[in-house]
Amino acid sequence: MLKKHPIVTFIFFGFILFLISNRLDELRVYQGATVAIYAIGVASLILLIGYSGQVSLGHGALLAIGGYAAALARIYYEAPIWLTFVVAVLAAAIGGALLGLAAARLSGPYLAGTTLALAIGLPSIANQFPILGGEQGIIFDIGLPPTSLGEDFTQYKWFFWISWTVALITLYWLRNVLNSRYGRGWRAVRSNDVAAELAGLHVGRNKVLAFTISAGLAGLAGALLAMTINLASPGVFPLALSFSLATGAVLSGVTTLGGIMIGSVTLVAIPEIALAIANRYGSETITTNLPGLLVSALLILTVLFVPNGPVEQMHAKRAKKGHSSHSPVEISVRVGHKTWSTKK
Amino acid sequence: MNQFLDMVLIGISAASIYSLMAISMVLVWRSTRVVNFAQAGMALLSAYIGYELVARIGNFWIALPLAMILGAAFSAFIEFVLMRTLQKHSTQGAIAAIAPIIATLGLLGLIRAGIGFIWGHGDVQIQAPLSKVGFKFGDTTIIMNPMSLFVLLFVIALMIIVSIVFQKTNIGLALRASAYAPEIAQLAGIRVSGIRTLGWAIAGAAGAAAGILQTVSGTGSLTPESLEFSLLLVFGFIAAVIGGLESLPGAVLGALILGLVLAAVQIYIGGALVFIVAFLLLLLVLIVRPQGFLGSKAGRRA
Amino acid sequence: MIRINRRKLITTSAVLAIAALTVATVPAQALNPSMGSDPGVTASTIKLGITSPLTGIASPGYSKIPGAMKAYFDYVNTNGGVNGRKITLVSKDDQYIPTTAVAKANELILRDKVFALVGTLGTASTKALTASTQLSKRGIPSLFVNTGWSGFADKKAYPTTFSILPSYQMEAKIMAKYVKETYAGKKIALIYQDDDFGRDALAGFKTAGLTFTTTIGYASGSQALPATGAGWISKLKAAGTDVTVFFGVTSAATAALANAYGAGYKTQWVLSSVSGDATAVAAANPAYVPLLFGAKGFSFAPAPTDTTDEYIKLFQGIYAAAQPKLTFDNNVVAGMSNAFLVVQALKAAGPNLTRKGLISAIETKGSTFANPFLTPLGYSTTSHSGANGYWVGTFGPTGMLTPDGGKYTVYSTDSGTGPVELSTYKRPAMPAKGL
């Protein structure tokens, strides 16, 4: 159904979420909003890592740019909510473009290390400019839900609706982009950039574009995150956030959007599960250490045994048996006696 | 003039610590072409082991080499279990480039949680074995003390030993060959996988030294979330990149440059800019001379 | 054999998501804030919640506070409770990270359904959780927050939040007056943390007219780098500084003291209350505590070693019985004083306990509450400000702060441009048995 009528699927999913939001208690609604935000953040990394083959360990910094931009737009220009999100996307996209330009010549660990350094250095940047509110940050208040929704419509439910509407639209859009020639272009460059260049793709531009779009998405997630916390501050975008998103991307399967819910839900569910376990044993040490332990163990196991994510794994199993639902772009180039091929 | 001397001494002291971490990262890179982001975590674990050893044996000078050996063993173990399995399962697709990175990140989390579980979250301390009061010349005290002098000499000694091993011995040759041309090395009869483990082991020893020496040079306290170790990782990485990820002398040179620049910023400009300057330095090197000061142009990309 | 295809996979993902969201939830209607009695209160119990750093970078010292509060609450419970109700304290660990503080506050409010929050720690965390959980809209009191940011005293911005500590500006102004009078004519340097916390103090120093020959700012976190502390000392030496004022966090102060010692550099240290936390220093490394000897420090509660003080005697007795293995120090005093004030507030709110009632009780009667502090409390219908003064003391060789001149000379001021004056406040006698 998704392939044939993607819009219908998304709307259907949205409708289900709408129904759920009325039945859940506030804590779950709040967590549900967080899942949506993670979904967008993880999607941005899937684009960057899975499709374009570039690693960012500091995506939290791009979320921060989006969050701060949205907050500033709200405070100084009293921008309506949708406009703050647009500002967030643009600001983060510009940041991503700059980063992408610098990073186009880097690969693998260099890129990873540089983005890591950025994420760690972010708080001190925030401290240098008083307008960014320093350690305490600046308030991002999107206001109360409209009165037309009723007296009992809580703020958290409002966050949930906004986050999921944005998430669904974004994921739908991203899915289309990834299935378009841009997506194919990224995959080609990732598999073999020499062959791609020979085939006429401009590698540098390709990579920067991926970074820019990924950053824009990250900025959007950052604005939504700041919305739910009511605050944009360095503490809202810690290093752990960058790591969480990378984890979510790997758990979902970096190469495809299909499993995105798996990663996003896991990120939110793990602390809950850990809390439940810890409560049963009633030990302080377990409560503090278990979430980190579970996430890290899950991450390592996934990378070791299901490295391409559960979705790809199933595709691979099927492909082995002779079924195939898509034909990847293959480019083979022969120069003299050497052959480069994108087929792996 | 006095301030300049201070700056140089401070820069050199800081550089010796960064260089240990940088050496460790370069070693891992050269033997397996992976940047180990868990390096700091492993250094942290080694530091805790060092704490245990000092607490039980009571002698720092025995505990240090012992901790280095244990650090080497742990590092080799990680390479054997984690990295090799990784190689087997994920040599293709997008994940190939980042799988090791993500795995080492996961490892970092595991180590932190494990440390928190075993030793708790309160601070533990390793007291410095040497005095931290500066040397006196007449009635001026300079900003170098027995402890920092030891660290400096230690680094120099380690550099010399490692360089000799790499350049003059068969094992060193095997290490270099396995990194650059594994297939050829294998054809020449070198057990490449064993050599890789050895590379990680040496790196683990260096990392352990970095962790312990940094702790005793600082306040002496350790916690699982020690900020010092996250900074050690980033600054070690920056130092390694500045010098050239391929080159061991480069690691030391890079650390020296980083240490001096940061000390200069501290003293002459203002401590608030330290992180920004470090990041800009990294960017500058990556844009202008990506192979680092002592690296060669070829073979820089991952 | 199930034919797995993409459609099924997406549907599976969707189902998974839905299932995960609804699993283990009590299907409930949206929160109805206006109906029924306040959560957290029954005829025989009151439930309070606190989120603070029990682990993580800020935890040394502060991690003792919830335990100390609980010790006092238990004492009150064994003596009949407050208006017949026993107090339970739910304590959560936020590791000094604002997003975690928000999550924990949500748990306290939505899952544990506490009556009020008490003693949340850290400016950024408190700001974040107050805004995000909409404490004011829900009318949830946030009593006696453990931070010196003056903004929380503003009733309009934070209608349900009450400060307890003097603000950083107050502290800076008082430090300035002390330094100007005691060290007139000497070269005075300042080391401060370059963020809101430290800049608040800068503003206070400026208002009080204290100028420094050398000003050194450091980026928060950079004190963990090897070169930082040494760099400060080098600068101080070069300027020939006599007195160094320090307004930063304890780990930075420790780095400063250690490096000064290592460089053989002598200066008169004047440490702010946060920097001069001997417990935090001891928790980091006991070997550094002697370095505090001779430094000047500030506090507004009685010294923990002062057994002539009736509150200290009482607290020592209670804590020794509750936590015999832990040392009694300034953080324990802080926690128990906080708890003491909470109980006074609950009592004043009367047997018909509501959130609104609690807030107005503090506003109308708070300034007359019995409390261990040596300065008056500033609670009123227009201000939620707590203590407003400090006394100066000197650190002894074991890190204990004792008042100069053998008695508490308290100076008080405001967070604005008001003058610093010698306080004539006489602390009211402790109620019988400290209840």
Residue A330: its pLDDT value, please?
61
**A233, C197 contact by CB (below 8 A):** no
Residues in chain B: 302
C90 vs C428, which has greater pLDDT?
Answer: C90
Give dist(CA C285, CA B271) in Å, integer.
Answer: 24
| CB contacts, 8 Å: C7 with chain A | 1-3
pTM of the shown model: 0.79
Kindly tell me if the per-residue pLDDT of A108 is higher than 80: no
Kindly tell me if the per-residue pLDDT of C115 is higher than 90: yes
- pLDDT class for C85, splitting at 50, 70, 90? very high
Mean pLDDT of A169-185: 87
Closest chain A C-alpha to C9 CA, distance in angstroms: 7
Give dist(CA A318, CA A80) in Å, integer.
Answer: 48
Cβ atoms within 10 A of the Cβ of A246, count?
A: 29
Strand B136-137 and strand B140-141: pairing? antiparallel
C432 vs C205, which has greater pLDDT?
Answer: C205
Kindly tell me if the per-residue pLDDT of A321 is higher than 70: no
Nearest chain A alpha carbon to B224? A289
pLDDT in tens, C20-70: 444 333 333 333 344 457 888 988 999 999 999 887 777 777 888 999 999
* Residue B125, strand partner residues: B221
As given in the structure block, the two tokens for residue A196 are: 């791609």
Q: Chains with ≥3 Cβ pairs under 8 A against C?
A: A, B
Residue C14: its pLDDT value, please?
55
Interface test with A, best of B39, B86, B95 (most A CBs within 10 A): B95
Interface test with C, best of A135, A277, A314, A318 (most C CBs within 10 A): A135
Burial class of C27 by CB neighbour count within 10 A (0 to 12, 13 to 18, 19+):
exposed
Q: Is C197 on the interface with A (CB under 8 A)?
A: yes
Mean pLDDT of C153-164: 90
Comparing CA positions, the residue from C149, C155, C139, C191 lying closest to residue C170 is C149
Interface test with A, best of B18, B30, B80, B101 (most A CBs within 10 A): B101
pLDDT in tens, C378-431: 898 888 988 988 999 999 888 888 888 888 888 888 888 888 888 888 888 888
Cβ atoms within 10 A of the Cβ of A338, count?
A: 7
Nearest chain B alpha carbon to A55? B98
Tokens 């995959």: give the residue: A187
Q: Is C224 on the interface with A (CB under 8 A)?
A: no
Nearest chain A alpha carbon to C28? A25
| Contact flag A53-B94 (C-beta cutoff 8 Å) | yes
End-to-end CA distance of chain B: give it in Å, rounded: 44
| Contact flag C234-B3 (C-beta cutoff 8 Å) | yes
Mean pLDDT of C239-254: 89
| Contact flag A112-B37 (C-beta cutoff 8 Å) | yes
Closest chain B C-alpha to A13 CA, distance in angstroms: 29
As given in the structure block, the two tokens for residue A104 are: 């186009």
**B252, B22 contact by CB (below 8 A):** yes
Lowest mean pLDDT among A7-11, A71-75, B119-123, C372-376: B119-123
Interface test with B, best of C59, C191, C234, C281 (most B CBs within 10 A): C234
Interface test with C, best of B5, B44, B143 (most C CBs within 10 A): B143
Backbone angles phi, psi at B33, to 5 degrees: 55, 40
Half-sphere exposure of residue B291: CA atoms within 13 angstroms, side-chain side = 10
Nearest chain A alpha carbon to B234? A117
Lowest mean pLDDT among A11-25, A264-278, A299-313, C300-314: A299-313
| CB contacts, 8 Å: C262 with chain B | 132-134, 143, 145
Helix-strand-coil split of chain C, %, nearest 5: 45, 20, 40
pLDDT in tens, A84-98: 999 999 999 999 998
Nearest to B134 among C95, C264, C283 (CB): C264
Residue C30 DSSP symbol: P
Nearest chain C alpha carbon to A29? C21
| Contact flag A303-B302 (C-beta cutoff 8 Å) | no
Lowest mean pLDDT among A266-270, B118-122, C239-243, C387-391: B118-122
A229 vs B180, which has greater pLDDT?
Answer: A229
Residue C177: its pLDDT value, please?
92
Q: Is A77 on the interface with B (CB under 8 A)?
A: no
Write out the DSSP string of C229-271: HHHHHHHHHHHT-SEEEEES-HHHHHHHHHHHHHTT---EEEE
Comparing CA positions, the residue from C171, C155, C150 lying closest to residue C420 is C171
Kindly tell me if the per-residue pLDDT of A10 is higher than 90: no
| CB contacts, 8 Å: B236 with chain C | none
Mean pLDDT for all residues in chain A: 81
As given in the structure block, the two tokens for residue B21 are: 């971490």
Residue C101 DSSP symbol: H
Q: How far is CA C330 from the centre of its chain?
A: 11
Identify the sign of the CA torsion B138, B141, B142, B148. positive
| Residue C137 Ramachandran class (φ > 0 left, ψ -120 to 50 alpha, else beta) | alpha
Kindly tell me if the per-residue pLDDT of A33 is higher than 80: yes
Kindly tell me if the per-residue pLDDT of A44 is higher than 70: yes
| Contact flag B271-C219 (C-beta cutoff 8 Å) | yes
| Contact flag A3-C149 (C-beta cutoff 8 Å) | no
Comparing CA positions, the residue from A114, A337, C264 lying closest to residue B287 is A114
As given in the structure block, the two tokens for residue C101 are: 């503080």
Residue A69: its pLDDT value, please?
93
3-class secondary structure, C299: strand
Mean pLDDT of C242-261: 88
| CB contacts, 8 Å: C134 with chain A | 155
Write out the DSSP string of B172-189: HHHHHHHHH-HHHHHHTT
| CB contacts, 8 Å: A13 with chain C | 14
**Percent of chain A topping pLDDT 70:** 87
List b or e across A36-52, with b for residues whose CB sees 16 or more CB atoms inside 10 angstroms: bbbbbbbbbbbbbbbbb
pLDDT in tens, C203-233: 889 988 899 998 998 877 778 777 788 888 8
Which residues does A78 contact at the CB level (< 8 Å), separation at least 6?
none
Residue C1: its pLDDT value, please?
38
| Contact flag A128-B272 (C-beta cutoff 8 Å) | yes
Q: Is B82 on the interface with A (CB under 8 A)?
A: yes
Residue C33: its pLDDT value, please?
42
Tokens 């911005």: give the residue: C157
Q: Which B-chain residues 98-117 have CB contacts (< 8 A) with chain A?
A: 98-99, 101-103, 105-110, 112-114, 116-117
Residue A287: its pLDDT value, please?
67
Nearest chain C alpha carbon to A257? C10
**Percent of chain C topping pLDDT 70:** 92
Mean pLDDT of A47-54: 82
Give dist(CA A241, CA A233) in Å, integer.
Answer: 13
Residue C30: its pLDDT value, please?
36
Helices (H), chain B: 2-32, 39-57, 60-78, 84-89, 95-119, 146-168, 170-180, 182-187, 192-217, 227-243, 248-264, 274-288
Name the stretches of chain B with pLDDT < 70: 1, 89-98, 139-140, 296-302
Backbone angles phi, psi at A102, to 5 degrees: -65, -35
Q: ∠ CA(C420), CA(C424), CA(C429), 5° rounding?
A: 135
Residue A218: its pLDDT value, please?
95
As given in the structure block, the two tokens for residue C235 are: 């600068």
Backbone angles phi, psi at C246, to 5 degrees: -125, 120
Q: Work out the angle between the directed axes of helices B39-57 and B60-78 (0-180°, nearest 10).
A: 140
| CB contacts, 8 Å: A255 with chain B | 93-95
In order of A302, C183, C354, the CA distances from A88 in angstroms are 32, 51, 42
Give dist(CA B117, CA B115) in Å, integer.
Answer: 5
Q: Which A-chain residues 243-272 have CB contacts (< 8 A) with chain B?
A: 243, 246-247, 250, 254-255
Q: Is A50 on the interface with B (CB under 8 A)?
A: yes
Mean pLDDT of A106-134: 75
Which residues does C60 contact at the CB level (< 8 Å), separation at least 6?
B122, B123, C250, C279, C280, C283, C284
Nearest to A304 among B89, B112, B275 (CB): B89
As given in the structure block, the two tokens for residue C410 are: 């308290």
Tokens 């503490």: give the residue: A235
Q: Is B65 on the interface with A (CB under 8 A)?
A: no
Cβ atoms within 10 A of the Cβ of C195, count?
A: 27
Residue C6: its pLDDT value, please?
53
pLDDT in tens, A277-304: 777 776 666 666 777 788 788 888 887 7
Q: Is C132 on the interface with A (CB under 8 A)?
A: yes
Give dist(CA C435, CA C314) in Å, integer.
Answer: 10
Nearest to B272 among C56, C217, C265 (CB): C217
Nearest to C6 among A30, A123, A258 (CB): A258
Residue C164: its pLDDT value, please?
92
Q: H or E stretch including A158?
A: helix A155-179
